[in-house]
Protein backbone atom coordinates (compact mmCIF):
# COMPACT_ATOMS: atom_id res chain seq x y z
CA UNK A 1 0.00 0.00 0.00
CA UNK A 2 1.30 3.43 -0.86
CA UNK A 3 -0.60 6.51 0.19
CA UNK A 4 -4.09 7.49 1.17
CA UNK A 5 -4.98 8.48 -2.37
CA UNK A 6 -4.84 4.78 -3.21
CA UNK A 7 -7.59 4.09 -0.77
CA UNK A 8 -10.07 6.75 -1.71
CA UNK A 9 -11.75 8.14 -4.75
CA UNK A 10 -14.64 10.56 -4.66
CA UNK A 11 -17.95 10.65 -6.41
CA UNK A 12 -18.93 14.21 -5.60
CA UNK A 13 -22.56 14.92 -5.06
CA UNK A 14 -23.58 17.98 -3.07
CA UNK A 15 -27.18 17.80 -1.90
CA UNK A 16 -28.80 20.95 -0.59
CA UNK A 17 -32.26 21.67 0.64
CA UNK A 18 -34.77 20.92 -2.05
CA UNK A 19 -37.33 23.28 -0.58
CA UNK A 20 -35.36 26.51 -1.05
CA UNK A 21 -35.12 28.52 -4.28
CA UNK A 22 -31.97 28.86 -6.37
CA UNK A 23 -31.48 25.23 -7.41
CA UNK A 24 -28.64 24.69 -9.84
CA UNK A 25 -27.27 21.48 -11.26
CA UNK A 26 -24.03 20.38 -12.81
CA UNK A 27 -22.60 17.06 -13.89
CA UNK A 28 -22.27 14.85 -10.77
CA UNK A 29 -23.41 17.66 -8.53
CA UNK A 30 -26.74 18.98 -7.27
CA UNK A 31 -26.89 21.88 -4.89
CA UNK A 32 -29.32 24.28 -3.30
CA UNK A 33 -28.22 27.16 -1.16
CA UNK A 34 -28.96 26.99 2.55
CA UNK A 35 -29.94 30.00 4.58
CA UNK A 36 -27.29 29.86 7.29
CA UNK A 37 -25.70 28.10 10.23
CA UNK A 38 -29.07 27.34 11.82
CA UNK A 39 -30.11 24.88 9.11
CA UNK A 40 -29.73 21.30 10.35
CA UNK A 41 -29.85 18.34 8.01
CA UNK A 42 -29.50 14.66 8.81
CA UNK A 43 -28.06 11.95 6.59
CA UNK A 44 -28.99 8.29 7.09
CA UNK A 45 -27.17 5.70 4.94
CA UNK A 46 -29.57 2.83 4.21
CA UNK A 47 -27.23 0.30 2.63
CA UNK A 48 -27.78 -0.67 -0.99
CA UNK A 49 -31.09 1.20 -0.92
CA UNK A 50 -29.14 4.45 -1.02
CA UNK A 51 -29.31 7.31 1.42
CA UNK A 52 -32.01 9.37 3.15
CA UNK A 53 -31.65 13.11 3.67
CA UNK A 54 -34.10 14.72 6.08
CA UNK A 55 -34.62 17.98 7.92
CA UNK A 56 -36.99 20.86 8.52
CA UNK A 57 -38.63 22.19 5.38
CA UNK A 58 -40.53 25.13 6.80
CA UNK A 59 -41.16 27.33 9.78
CA UNK A 60 -42.79 26.21 12.99
CA UNK A 61 -46.43 27.31 12.80
CA UNK A 62 -48.78 26.71 15.71
CA UNK A 63 -46.34 24.27 17.30
CA UNK A 64 -46.06 22.18 14.12
CA UNK A 65 -42.87 21.84 12.05
CA UNK A 66 -42.81 20.15 8.61
CA UNK A 67 -40.03 17.62 7.98
CA UNK A 68 -39.20 16.21 4.55
CA UNK A 69 -37.42 12.92 3.81
CA UNK A 70 -35.71 12.58 0.42
CA UNK A 71 -34.35 9.27 -0.89
CA UNK A 72 -31.39 9.00 -3.25
CA UNK A 73 -30.07 5.78 -4.77
CA UNK A 74 -26.45 4.66 -4.59
CA UNK A 75 -25.66 6.82 -7.63
CA UNK A 76 -27.22 9.84 -5.88
CA UNK A 77 -30.18 10.06 -8.24
CA UNK A 78 -33.20 11.49 -6.44
CA UNK A 79 -36.03 8.92 -6.32
CA UNK A 80 -38.74 10.32 -4.07
CA UNK A 81 -39.57 12.54 -1.13
CA UNK A 82 -42.24 12.50 1.54
CA UNK A 83 -43.19 15.01 4.26
CA UNK A 84 -44.64 14.81 7.75
CA UNK A 85 -45.72 17.35 10.37
CA UNK A 86 -43.88 17.05 13.69
CA UNK A 87 -45.53 18.58 16.75
CA UNK A 88 -44.15 20.18 19.91
CA UNK A 89 -41.03 21.68 18.27
CA UNK A 90 -39.11 18.42 18.48
CA UNK A 91 -35.74 17.66 16.88
CA UNK A 92 -34.11 14.41 15.70
CA UNK A 93 -32.06 13.04 18.58
CA UNK A 94 -31.13 9.56 17.34
CA UNK A 95 -31.97 7.42 14.35
CA UNK A 96 -31.40 3.82 13.26
CA UNK A 97 -32.04 1.85 10.07
CA UNK A 98 -33.57 -1.64 10.14
CA UNK A 99 -31.97 -3.53 7.25
CA UNK A 100 -34.25 -6.56 7.67
CA UNK A 101 -37.53 -4.68 7.30
CA UNK A 102 -36.08 -1.70 5.38
CA UNK A 103 -37.41 0.93 7.75
CA UNK A 104 -35.88 4.07 9.26
CA UNK A 105 -36.66 4.98 12.87
CA UNK A 106 -36.09 8.45 14.32
CA UNK A 107 -36.38 9.56 17.95
CA UNK A 108 -37.71 13.13 17.98
CA UNK A 109 -37.27 14.90 21.32
CA UNK A 110 -36.81 18.26 22.98
CA UNK A 111 -33.53 19.04 24.69
CA UNK A 112 -29.88 18.28 23.95
CA UNK A 113 -27.78 15.23 23.24
CA UNK A 114 -27.18 14.94 27.01
CA UNK A 115 -30.70 15.21 28.41
CA UNK A 116 -34.21 15.37 27.00
CA UNK A 117 -37.49 16.12 28.68
CA UNK A 118 -41.21 16.52 28.16
CA UNK A 119 -42.85 15.15 25.00
CA UNK A 120 -41.20 12.97 22.35
CA UNK A 121 -42.12 11.09 19.19
CA UNK A 122 -40.80 7.92 17.59
CA UNK A 123 -41.06 8.09 13.80
CA UNK A 124 -41.13 5.11 11.43
CA UNK A 125 -40.51 5.50 7.68
CA UNK A 126 -41.17 2.45 5.49
CA UNK A 127 -38.75 2.69 2.56
CA UNK A 128 -40.87 0.46 0.30
CA UNK A 129 -44.24 2.17 0.82
CA UNK A 130 -43.00 5.66 1.81
CA UNK A 131 -45.46 5.51 4.71
CA UNK A 132 -44.64 7.49 7.87
CA UNK A 133 -46.04 6.49 11.27
CA UNK A 134 -45.68 8.30 14.60
CA UNK A 135 -45.93 7.23 18.23
CA UNK A 136 -46.20 9.92 20.92
CA UNK A 137 -44.78 9.67 24.43
CA UNK A 138 -43.65 11.78 27.37
CA UNK A 139 -40.47 11.70 29.41
CA UNK A 140 -41.67 12.14 32.99
CA UNK A 141 -38.28 13.49 34.09
CA UNK A 142 -35.12 14.77 32.47
CA UNK A 143 -33.75 11.70 30.73
CA UNK A 144 -30.42 10.70 29.22
CA UNK A 145 -30.78 8.35 26.24
CA UNK A 146 -27.81 5.98 26.04
CA UNK A 147 -28.88 3.90 23.03
CA UNK A 148 -31.53 3.65 20.31
CA UNK A 149 -31.61 0.25 18.58
CA UNK A 150 -34.00 -1.91 16.55
CA UNK A 151 -34.65 -5.66 16.76
CA UNK A 152 -37.49 -7.82 15.39
CA UNK A 153 -39.32 -4.74 14.14
CA UNK A 154 -39.31 -3.09 17.58
CA UNK A 155 -37.34 -0.03 18.65
CA UNK A 156 -35.67 -0.04 22.07
CA UNK A 157 -34.25 3.04 23.75
CA UNK A 158 -33.06 3.59 27.28
CA UNK A 159 -30.72 5.28 29.71
CA UNK A 160 -31.59 6.90 33.02
CA UNK A 161 -33.69 9.69 34.48
CA UNK A 162 -32.45 12.42 36.79
CA UNK A 163 -33.89 13.00 40.26
CA UNK A 164 -36.97 15.24 40.14
CA UNK A 165 -35.35 18.02 42.16
CA UNK A 166 -31.81 17.90 40.74
CA UNK A 167 -31.75 21.51 39.68
CA UNK A 168 -29.74 24.61 40.48
CA UNK A 169 -30.86 24.75 44.13
CA UNK A 170 -29.45 21.32 44.99
CA UNK A 171 -26.23 21.90 43.05
CA UNK A 172 -25.49 25.25 44.67
CA UNK A 173 -26.45 24.09 48.17
CA UNK A 174 -24.57 20.80 47.99
CA UNK A 175 -21.37 22.15 49.56
CA UNK A 176 -23.35 23.12 52.66
CA UNK A 177 -25.40 19.94 52.77
CA UNK A 178 -22.27 17.80 52.50
CA UNK A 179 -21.36 18.94 56.02
CA UNK A 180 -24.64 19.73 57.77
CA UNK A 181 -27.09 17.20 56.30
CA UNK A 182 -25.21 14.00 57.26
CA UNK A 183 -24.80 15.31 60.78
CA UNK A 184 -28.55 15.63 61.32
CA UNK A 185 -30.36 13.61 58.64
CA UNK A 186 -27.87 11.04 57.32
CA UNK A 187 -26.04 10.97 54.01
CA UNK A 188 -27.51 12.65 50.96
CA UNK A 189 -28.77 10.13 48.39
CA UNK A 190 -30.37 11.49 45.23
CA UNK A 191 -31.32 8.57 43.02
CA UNK A 192 -30.99 7.99 39.32
CA UNK A 193 -33.67 5.74 37.87
CA UNK A 194 -33.14 3.38 34.92
CA UNK A 195 -35.23 3.96 31.82
CA UNK A 196 -36.05 1.39 29.14
CA UNK A 197 -38.81 1.69 26.55
CA UNK A 198 -39.93 -0.23 23.45
CA UNK A 199 -41.87 1.15 20.47
CA UNK A 200 -44.00 -1.39 18.59
CA UNK A 201 -45.56 0.12 15.46
CA UNK A 202 -47.42 -3.12 14.66
CA UNK A 203 -49.46 -2.70 17.84
CA UNK A 204 -49.11 1.08 17.97
CA UNK A 205 -47.77 1.00 21.53
CA UNK A 206 -44.97 2.49 23.62
CA UNK A 207 -44.06 0.19 26.51
CA UNK A 208 -41.89 1.34 29.40
CA UNK A 209 -40.28 -1.56 31.27
CA UNK A 210 -40.54 -1.56 35.09
CA UNK A 211 -36.95 -2.50 35.92
CA UNK A 212 -37.58 -2.32 39.68
CA UNK A 213 -34.07 -1.33 40.70
CA UNK A 214 -33.16 0.35 43.96
CA UNK A 215 -30.57 3.00 44.69
CA UNK A 216 -28.76 4.72 41.84
CA UNK A 217 -29.38 2.66 38.72
CA UNK A 218 -29.03 3.25 35.02
CA UNK A 219 -29.10 1.53 31.65
CA UNK A 220 -25.56 1.84 30.27
CA UNK A 221 -26.04 0.44 26.78
CA UNK A 222 -28.39 -1.61 24.60
CA UNK A 223 -27.12 -4.05 21.97
CA UNK A 224 -28.85 -6.56 19.71
CA UNK A 225 -28.02 -10.19 19.02
CA UNK A 226 -28.12 -10.59 15.24
CA UNK A 227 -28.42 -14.38 15.55
CA UNK A 228 -31.32 -14.66 18.00
CA UNK A 229 -32.76 -11.11 17.75
CA UNK A 230 -32.39 -10.85 21.53
CA UNK A 231 -31.87 -7.42 23.08
CA UNK A 232 -29.09 -7.15 25.68
CA UNK A 233 -29.40 -4.36 28.24
CA UNK A 234 -26.25 -3.54 30.22
CA UNK A 235 -27.16 -2.05 33.62
CA UNK A 236 -25.58 -0.80 36.83
CA UNK A 237 -27.38 -0.70 40.20
CA UNK A 238 -25.77 0.88 43.27
CA UNK A 239 -27.67 0.57 46.53
CA UNK A 240 -24.78 1.12 48.93
CA UNK A 241 -20.99 1.02 48.98
CA UNK A 242 -21.00 -2.76 49.34
CA UNK A 243 -24.25 -3.56 47.55
CA UNK A 244 -23.60 -2.96 43.86
CA UNK A 245 -25.02 -5.04 41.03
CA UNK A 246 -23.85 -4.88 37.41
CA UNK A 247 -24.89 -7.16 34.58
CA UNK A 248 -27.07 -7.89 31.56
CA UNK A 249 -30.85 -8.11 31.15
CA UNK A 250 -31.88 -10.13 28.09
CA UNK A 251 -35.14 -9.54 26.19
CA UNK A 252 -36.25 -12.08 23.59
CA UNK A 253 -37.60 -11.34 20.10
CA UNK A 254 -41.05 -10.69 21.60
CA UNK A 255 -39.69 -8.12 24.06
CA UNK A 256 -40.10 -10.41 27.08
CA UNK A 257 -37.41 -10.49 29.77
CA UNK A 258 -35.93 -14.00 29.71
CA UNK A 259 -32.79 -13.78 31.85
CA UNK A 260 -30.68 -11.57 34.08
CA UNK A 261 -26.94 -12.19 34.24
CA UNK A 262 -25.01 -10.55 37.08
CA UNK A 263 -21.26 -9.98 36.84
CA UNK A 264 -19.92 -11.96 39.78
CA UNK A 265 -16.40 -10.54 40.03
CA UNK A 266 -17.04 -6.84 39.46
CA UNK A 267 -16.99 -5.79 43.12
CA UNK A 268 -13.89 -3.61 42.79
CA UNK A 269 -14.76 -1.81 39.55
CA UNK A 270 -17.50 0.31 38.09
CA UNK A 271 -18.57 -0.74 34.61
CA UNK A 272 -19.18 2.40 32.56
CA UNK A 273 -19.93 1.15 29.05
CA UNK A 274 -20.12 -2.09 27.15
CA UNK A 275 -20.92 -3.75 23.84
CA UNK A 276 -22.04 -7.38 23.66
CA UNK A 277 -21.64 -9.85 20.80
CA UNK A 278 -22.12 -13.58 20.31
CA UNK A 279 -19.02 -15.66 19.51
CA UNK A 280 -20.82 -19.01 19.10
CA UNK A 281 -24.16 -20.65 19.87
CA UNK A 282 -23.52 -20.70 23.63
CA UNK A 283 -20.98 -17.99 24.39
CA UNK A 284 -21.15 -14.20 24.41
CA UNK A 285 -18.58 -11.55 25.22
CA UNK A 286 -19.03 -8.05 26.65
CA UNK A 287 -16.26 -5.48 26.10
CA UNK A 288 -16.29 -1.98 27.51
CA UNK A 289 -14.66 0.61 29.75
CA UNK A 290 -14.27 0.46 33.53
CA UNK A 291 -12.90 2.49 36.43
CA UNK A 292 -11.60 1.04 39.75
CA UNK A 293 -13.83 1.79 42.69
CA UNK A 294 -11.83 3.90 45.19
CA UNK A 295 -11.61 3.00 48.85
CA UNK A 296 -14.06 4.91 50.99
CA UNK A 297 -16.48 5.16 48.08
CA UNK A 298 -19.65 6.94 49.16
CA UNK A 299 -22.89 6.89 47.27
CA UNK A 300 -23.75 10.38 46.12
CA UNK A 301 -25.40 11.86 43.11
CA UNK A 302 -22.83 14.63 42.91
CA UNK A 303 -19.49 12.94 43.60
CA UNK A 304 -19.06 11.55 40.09
CA UNK A 305 -19.73 12.51 36.51
CA UNK A 306 -22.97 10.64 35.98
CA UNK A 307 -23.14 11.33 32.26
CA UNK A 308 -19.83 9.74 31.24
CA UNK A 309 -17.29 9.15 34.03
CA UNK A 310 -13.58 8.90 33.27
CA UNK A 311 -12.34 5.35 32.71
CA UNK A 312 -9.06 3.61 33.52
CA UNK A 313 -9.11 0.75 31.03
CA UNK A 314 -11.09 -1.88 29.15
CA UNK A 315 -12.70 -5.02 30.55
CA UNK A 316 -13.70 -8.22 28.78
CA UNK A 317 -16.39 -10.46 30.29
CA UNK A 318 -17.44 -13.89 29.02
CA UNK A 319 -21.00 -15.20 29.33
CA UNK A 320 -22.00 -18.86 28.93
CA UNK A 321 -25.76 -19.42 28.81
CA UNK A 322 -26.96 -17.58 31.94
CA UNK A 323 -23.72 -17.18 33.91
CA UNK A 324 -20.44 -15.32 33.77
CA UNK A 325 -17.35 -17.37 32.87
CA UNK A 326 -14.56 -14.77 33.17
CA UNK A 327 -13.87 -11.08 33.74
CA UNK A 328 -10.50 -9.68 32.63
CA UNK A 329 -9.25 -6.13 33.14
CA UNK A 330 -6.78 -4.22 30.98
CA UNK A 331 -5.70 -0.80 32.32
CA UNK A 332 -4.60 1.75 29.73
CA UNK A 333 -1.12 1.71 31.24
CA UNK A 334 -0.72 -1.91 30.08
CA UNK A 335 -1.43 -1.05 26.44
CA UNK A 336 1.50 -0.80 24.05
CA UNK A 337 0.30 2.03 21.81
CA UNK A 338 -2.22 3.91 23.95
CA UNK A 339 -0.03 7.01 24.40
CA UNK A 340 1.22 7.22 20.82
CA UNK A 341 -0.92 10.31 20.23
CA UNK A 342 1.37 12.24 22.58
CA UNK A 343 4.77 13.69 21.76
CA UNK A 344 7.89 11.71 22.69
CA UNK A 345 8.55 14.13 25.54
CA UNK A 346 5.04 13.71 26.99
CA UNK A 347 5.27 9.93 26.71
CA UNK A 348 8.59 9.97 28.56
CA UNK A 349 7.06 12.11 31.31
CA UNK A 350 4.24 9.58 31.81
CA UNK A 351 6.69 6.67 31.90
CA UNK A 352 8.67 8.43 34.64
CA UNK A 353 5.48 8.95 36.66
CA UNK A 354 4.65 5.26 36.30
CA UNK A 355 8.16 4.29 37.42
CA UNK A 356 7.98 6.54 40.50
CA UNK A 357 4.62 5.06 41.50
CA UNK A 358 5.89 1.51 41.05
CA UNK A 359 8.98 2.31 43.14
CA UNK A 360 6.65 3.26 46.01
CA UNK A 361 4.68 0.04 45.56
CA UNK A 362 1.71 1.79 43.99
CA UNK A 363 0.12 1.53 40.57
CA UNK A 364 -0.13 4.50 38.23
CA UNK A 365 -3.76 4.93 37.23
CA UNK A 366 -4.60 6.70 33.98
CA UNK A 367 -8.07 8.20 33.62
CA UNK A 368 -9.61 9.18 30.31
CA UNK A 369 -13.09 10.02 29.15
CA UNK A 370 -13.92 7.53 26.41
CA UNK A 371 -16.79 7.25 23.98
CA UNK A 372 -17.66 3.72 22.85
CA UNK A 373 -17.57 3.53 19.07
CA UNK A 374 -17.86 0.03 17.62
CA UNK A 375 -17.21 -3.68 18.11
CA UNK A 376 -15.92 -5.33 14.94
CA UNK A 377 -16.34 -9.11 14.83
CA UNK A 378 -13.67 -11.03 12.89
CA UNK A 379 -13.03 -14.74 12.50
CA UNK A 380 -10.45 -15.00 15.27
CA UNK A 381 -10.75 -11.71 17.13
CA UNK A 382 -13.05 -8.96 18.37
CA UNK A 383 -11.84 -5.41 17.76
CA UNK A 384 -13.16 -2.87 20.26
CA UNK A 385 -12.99 0.73 19.06
CA UNK A 386 -13.34 3.73 21.40
CA UNK A 387 -12.43 7.42 21.34
CA UNK A 388 -10.75 9.39 24.12
CA UNK A 389 -11.71 13.01 24.73
CA UNK A 390 -11.71 15.73 27.35
CA UNK A 391 -13.83 18.85 27.98
CA UNK A 392 -11.98 21.98 26.95
CA UNK A 393 -12.29 25.40 28.57
CA UNK A 394 -10.75 28.78 27.97
CA UNK A 395 -10.47 31.93 30.06
CA UNK A 396 -11.84 35.10 28.54
CA UNK A 397 -11.27 38.60 29.88
CA UNK A 398 -13.02 41.85 29.15
CA UNK A 399 -12.79 45.41 30.38
CA UNK A 400 -15.72 46.65 32.46
CA UNK A 401 -16.51 50.07 33.96
CA UNK A 402 -17.18 50.99 37.58
CA UNK A 403 -19.92 53.53 38.40
CA UNK A 404 -17.22 56.15 39.05
CA UNK A 405 -15.81 55.74 35.54
CA UNK A 406 -12.75 53.66 36.38
CA UNK A 407 -12.15 50.36 34.60
CA UNK A 408 -11.38 46.88 35.82
CA UNK A 409 -10.64 43.52 34.24
CA UNK A 410 -13.32 40.83 34.45
CA UNK A 411 -12.38 37.25 33.58
CA UNK A 412 -14.52 34.14 33.30
CA UNK A 413 -14.20 30.55 32.12
CA UNK A 414 -16.08 29.33 29.05
CA UNK A 415 -16.69 25.74 27.94
CA UNK A 416 -15.53 25.51 24.30
CA UNK A 417 -16.39 21.88 23.53
CA UNK A 418 -15.10 18.33 23.75
CA UNK A 419 -11.71 17.70 22.16
CA UNK A 420 -11.11 14.19 20.78
CA UNK A 421 -7.50 13.16 21.44
CA UNK A 422 -7.30 9.75 19.78
CA UNK A 423 -9.09 6.54 18.90
CA UNK A 424 -8.11 3.26 20.55
CA UNK A 425 -8.44 -0.11 18.81
CA UNK A 426 -7.98 -3.20 20.99
CA UNK A 427 -8.34 -6.78 19.76
CA UNK A 428 -9.39 -9.67 22.02
CA UNK A 429 -9.77 -13.39 21.40
CA UNK A 430 -12.79 -15.44 22.45
CA UNK A 431 -11.28 -16.13 25.86
CA UNK A 432 -10.85 -12.43 26.61
CA UNK A 433 -7.08 -12.25 26.09
CA UNK A 434 -5.72 -9.00 24.67
CA UNK A 435 -4.09 -9.74 21.30
CA UNK A 436 -2.91 -6.27 20.30
CA UNK A 437 -3.73 -2.59 20.62
CA UNK A 438 -3.20 0.43 18.43
CA UNK A 439 -4.23 4.08 18.30
CA UNK A 440 -5.15 6.79 15.81
CA UNK A 441 -4.23 10.35 16.80
CA UNK A 442 -6.99 12.94 16.24
CA UNK A 443 -6.58 16.08 18.40
CA UNK A 444 -8.15 18.47 15.83
CA UNK A 445 -11.82 17.66 16.44
CA UNK A 446 -13.62 19.94 18.91
CA UNK A 447 -17.41 19.80 19.20
CA UNK A 448 -20.19 20.52 21.65
CA UNK A 449 -21.80 17.21 20.68
CA UNK A 450 -20.48 13.91 21.96
CA UNK A 451 -20.70 11.33 19.18
CA UNK A 452 -18.30 8.83 17.57
CA UNK A 453 -16.15 10.46 14.89
CA UNK A 454 -13.79 7.73 13.74
CA UNK A 455 -15.13 5.02 11.44
CA UNK A 456 -13.49 1.67 10.76
CA UNK A 457 -13.47 -0.88 7.95
CA UNK A 458 -11.75 -4.25 8.27
CA UNK A 459 -10.06 -5.70 5.18
CA UNK A 460 -8.43 -9.02 6.00
CA UNK A 461 -5.72 -8.37 8.58
CA UNK A 462 -5.80 -4.63 7.96
CA UNK A 463 -8.05 -2.04 9.55
CA UNK A 464 -8.80 1.34 8.00
CA UNK A 465 -9.53 4.17 10.46
CA UNK A 466 -10.90 7.40 9.02
CA UNK A 467 -12.61 10.59 10.22
CA UNK A 468 -13.73 13.86 8.64
CA UNK A 469 -13.03 17.34 9.94
CA UNK A 470 -12.95 20.83 8.46
CA UNK A 471 -13.58 19.59 4.92
CA UNK A 472 -10.81 16.99 5.03
CA UNK A 473 -10.62 13.21 5.35
CA UNK A 474 -7.89 11.85 7.60
CA UNK A 475 -7.05 8.17 7.61
CA UNK A 476 -4.67 5.58 8.98
CA UNK A 477 -4.23 1.90 8.12
CA UNK A 478 -3.11 -0.55 10.80
CA UNK A 479 -2.51 -4.29 10.94
CA UNK A 480 -2.60 -5.48 14.52
CA UNK A 481 -0.17 -3.44 16.57
CA UNK A 482 1.69 -2.25 13.47
CA UNK A 483 1.08 0.81 11.31
CA UNK A 484 0.73 0.00 7.61
CA UNK A 485 0.01 3.56 6.50
CA UNK A 486 0.53 6.53 8.82
CA UNK A 487 -1.91 9.40 9.08
CA UNK A 488 -2.81 10.92 5.71
CA UNK A 489 -5.03 13.84 4.76
CA UNK A 490 -7.18 14.26 1.65
CA UNK A 491 -9.04 17.50 1.02
CA UNK A 492 -12.66 17.44 -0.15
CA UNK A 493 -12.59 19.73 -3.16
CA UNK A 494 -15.46 21.77 -4.57
CA UNK A 495 -17.15 20.48 -7.73
CA UNK A 496 -15.77 23.22 -10.01
CA UNK A 497 -12.25 24.56 -10.32
CA UNK A 498 -13.61 28.11 -10.09
CA UNK A 499 -15.23 27.37 -6.71
CA UNK A 500 -13.17 28.33 -3.69
CA UNK A 501 -14.21 26.87 -0.33
CA UNK A 502 -14.11 29.66 2.24
CA UNK A 503 -15.49 27.78 5.23
CA UNK A 504 -16.20 24.20 6.37
CA UNK A 505 -18.32 23.09 9.31
CA UNK A 506 -20.36 20.10 10.42
CA UNK A 507 -18.03 17.61 8.69
CA UNK A 508 -18.67 13.92 9.30
CA UNK A 509 -18.35 10.47 7.79
CA UNK A 510 -20.43 7.27 8.04
CA UNK A 511 -20.01 3.72 6.82
CA UNK A 512 -22.40 2.99 3.94
CA UNK A 513 -22.17 -0.48 2.38
CA UNK A 514 -19.52 -2.91 1.13
CA UNK A 515 -16.33 -0.82 0.87
CA UNK A 516 -18.11 2.52 0.66
CA UNK A 517 -18.26 5.40 3.12
CA UNK A 518 -20.22 8.62 2.81
CA UNK A 519 -18.74 11.98 3.87
CA UNK A 520 -20.92 15.02 4.48
CA UNK A 521 -20.94 18.53 5.86
CA UNK A 522 -21.48 22.20 5.09
CA UNK A 523 -19.37 24.52 2.98
CA UNK A 524 -19.36 28.22 2.24
CA UNK A 525 -18.26 28.59 -1.38
CA UNK A 526 -17.21 31.60 -3.43
CA UNK A 527 -17.25 31.32 -7.22
CA UNK A 528 -14.26 33.04 -8.84
CA UNK A 529 -15.17 32.58 -12.51
CA UNK A 530 -15.01 35.59 -14.83
CA UNK A 531 -17.94 37.94 -14.41
CA UNK A 532 -19.24 35.94 -11.46
CA UNK A 533 -18.58 36.72 -7.80
CA UNK A 534 -21.30 34.75 -6.02
CA UNK A 535 -21.23 33.27 -2.53
CA UNK A 536 -23.32 30.37 -1.27
CA UNK A 537 -23.62 27.88 1.56
CA UNK A 538 -24.25 24.25 0.71
CA UNK A 539 -24.79 20.93 2.43
CA UNK A 540 -22.88 18.15 0.68
CA UNK A 541 -22.21 14.45 0.78
CA UNK A 542 -19.58 12.44 -1.09
CA UNK A 543 -19.39 8.77 -1.93
CA UNK A 544 -16.01 7.37 -0.92
CA UNK A 545 -14.62 3.97 -1.87
CA UNK A 546 -11.90 2.09 -0.05
CA UNK A 547 -9.61 0.03 -2.28
pLDDT, residue 111, reads 81
pLDDT at 27 over 90: no
Query: pTM of the full predicted structure?
Result: 0.88
Cα 78-82-85 angle, rounded to 5 deg: 145
Task: Determine the Cα–Cα distance for residues 428 and 201; give it in Å rounded to an integer.
Answer: 38
Tell me the pLDDT band of 264, cut-offs 50, 70 and 90. confident
Q: The dihedral of CA 293, 297, 303, 307: what is its sign?
A: positive
Span 431-488, pLDDT tens digits: 999 999 999 999 999 999 999 999 999 988 999 999 999 999 999 999 999 999 999 9
Span 75-119, pLDDT tens digits: 889 999 999 999 888 999 999 999 999 999 999 998 877 788 889
The percent helix, strand, coil of the chain (3-state, each to 5) is 10, 55, 35
**% of residues, the chain, pLDDT over 90:** 58
Span 383-415, pLDDT tens digits: 999 999 999 999 999 988 888 888 989 899 999
| Average pLDDT rounded to a whole number, residues 517-544 | 83
| Average pLDDT rounded to a whole number, residues 194-198 | 96
pLDDT at 344 over 50: yes
pLDDT at 188 over 50: no
Tell me the pLDDT band of 152, cut-offs 50, 70 and 90. very high
Higher pLDDT, 26 or 545: 545
pLDDT, residue 451, reads 92
Q: Is 168 helix (H, G, I), strand (E, B) or coil?
A: helix
Higher pLDDT, 102 or 499: 102
Residues of 326-354 as b/e, b for ≥16 C-beta within 10 angstroms?
A: ebbbbbbbebebbbbbbeeeeeeeeeeee
pLDDT, residue 132, reads 98
Output the average pLDDT for the chain: 85
In sequence order, the 6+-apart residues with CB closer than 8 A to the CB of 452 are: 371, 372, 373, 374, 387
Give me the residues paired with residue 151 across strands.
154
pLDDT, residue 100, reads 92
Q: Is 77 helix (H, G, I), strand (E, B) or coil?
A: coil
Residue 196's H or E segment, with its range, is: strand 193-200
Residue 171's H or E segment, with its range, is: helix 168-185
Amino acid sequence: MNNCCKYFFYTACFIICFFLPGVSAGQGRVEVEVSGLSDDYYLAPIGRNGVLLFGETGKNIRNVTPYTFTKYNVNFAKEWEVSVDVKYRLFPLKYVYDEQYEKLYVLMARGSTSYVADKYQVLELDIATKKISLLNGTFKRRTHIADFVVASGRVYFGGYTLPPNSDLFFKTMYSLMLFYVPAFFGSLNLKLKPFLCAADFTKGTLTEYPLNMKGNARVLSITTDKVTDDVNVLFSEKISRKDITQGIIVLDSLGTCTEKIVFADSGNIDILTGLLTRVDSNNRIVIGAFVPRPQGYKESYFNESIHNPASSGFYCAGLDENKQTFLKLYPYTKFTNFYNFLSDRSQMRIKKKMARRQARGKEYQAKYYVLVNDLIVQEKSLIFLAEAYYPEYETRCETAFNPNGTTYQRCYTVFTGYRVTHAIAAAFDNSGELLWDNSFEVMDVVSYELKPRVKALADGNELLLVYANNGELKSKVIAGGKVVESKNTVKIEAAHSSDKVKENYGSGISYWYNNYFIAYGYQKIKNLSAGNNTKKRVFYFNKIAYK
